Amino acid sequence: MSDFSNYIVYVDESGDHSLQSINPQFPVFVLAFCIFKISDYTDTVTPMIQRFKFKHFGHDVVILHEREIRKREPPFEMLMNPKIREEFMAGLNKIFSDSPLTIVAAAIDKKPFAKTHSDSPNPYTVAMRFGLERVHQLLEADGQHEKETMVVFEARGAKEDAELELEFRRVCDGLNAFKRRMSFNCIIKSKQANSGGLQLADLIARPIGRKVIKPAQENRAYEIVESKLAKDPAGEEAKWGLRIYP
């Protein structure tokens, strides 16, 4: 019997976590956790991503990066063509719709957060703690919480990665709502590792931020994300997987 749980978690962000310099165009910070059963990830999700890449690029080494797709920068310059863009985005949406995954996310509206949480840890730490606690509860509901679960974060830089790992260890060692150890292991990897899970997490985070900024605006990507949000294990709260601060 394996010492590892049946799950793998991929984490990525949208926006920056600075409270001193707030971008008026995107004044939020989002941290998204994508939770997969390993069997679903290997047997269903990864093949879908590979087929999508081969269809549109003829190879599978391209990195699906939200910023480059949105700005239609290389290797996504073909998205300047409306017909190609429509087919490409429909294919991405289908991957998300068909993927058996669960999403937990924290979105921080930085201006009001800075006013009411001046003495709090930085937004990244707050968001990470919430995400890990929610994932732990989901694993506990499935009897997997005592086994080691890998949590894969996108690398951000040597200093930031060291700070992330330190805070991660603190949360897992007991600095959490449950005051007990959580059996997570932190892995930090660059997008260049070409992890399908990290790429999906990257694509998920920004639509959540856009929903927070402009809740009334049509947001097809968020509609798909919303359908994947973790539900309360007790079945009492449909959007239990999303926390908006403050």
Average pLDDT over all residues of the chain: 94
What's the pLDDT at 226? 94
Distance CA 141, CA 14 (A): 29
What's the pLDDT at 114? 87
What mean pLDDT is predicted for residues 24-45? 97
Tokens of 25: 């165009």
* Domain that includes residue 205, residue range: 4-245
What mean pLDDT is predicted for residues 144-148? 97
What's the pLDDT at 115? 85
| CA separation, residue 143 to residues 99, 129, 221 (Å) | 23, 21, 32
What's the pLDDT at 120? 64
Q: Is the pLDDT reported for residue 2 higher than 90?
A: no
What's the pLDDT at 139? 97
Q: Is the pLDDT reported for residue 238 higher than 80?
A: no
Segment 211-226, tens digit of pLDDT: 999 999 999 999 999 9
In a 13 Å sphere around the CA of 177, the CA atoms on its Cβ side amount to 11
- Looking at residue 107, which CATH number applies to its domain? 3.30.420.10
In single-letter form, the type of residue at position 211 comes to K
Distance CA 92, CA 73 (A): 17
pLDDT band, very low/low/confident/very high, at 233 (cuts 50, 70, 90): confident
Stated length of the chain: 246
Distance CA 202, CA 206 (A): 8
| CA separation, residue 179 to residues 54, 133, 150, 174, 175 (Å) | 46, 11, 20, 5, 6
Kindly calculate the radius of gyration of the chain based on its CA atoms and give it in whole angstroms: 18
DSSP state of 217: S
What's the pLDDT at 122? 84
Helix (H) or strand (E) holding 12: strand 4-14
Q: Is the pLDDT reported for residue 10 higher than 90?
A: yes
What's the pLDDT at 18? 85
Distance CA 103, CA 204 (A): 9
Question: Cis omega before residue 47 (within 30°)?
Answer: no
What's the pLDDT at 121? 67
- Domain count of the chain? 1
Q: What percent of the chain has pLDDT over 70?
A: 98
What mean pLDDT is predicted for residues 147-164? 95
Collect all residues with Cβ–Cβ distance below 8 Å to 21 and sequence separation of at least 6.
Answer: none
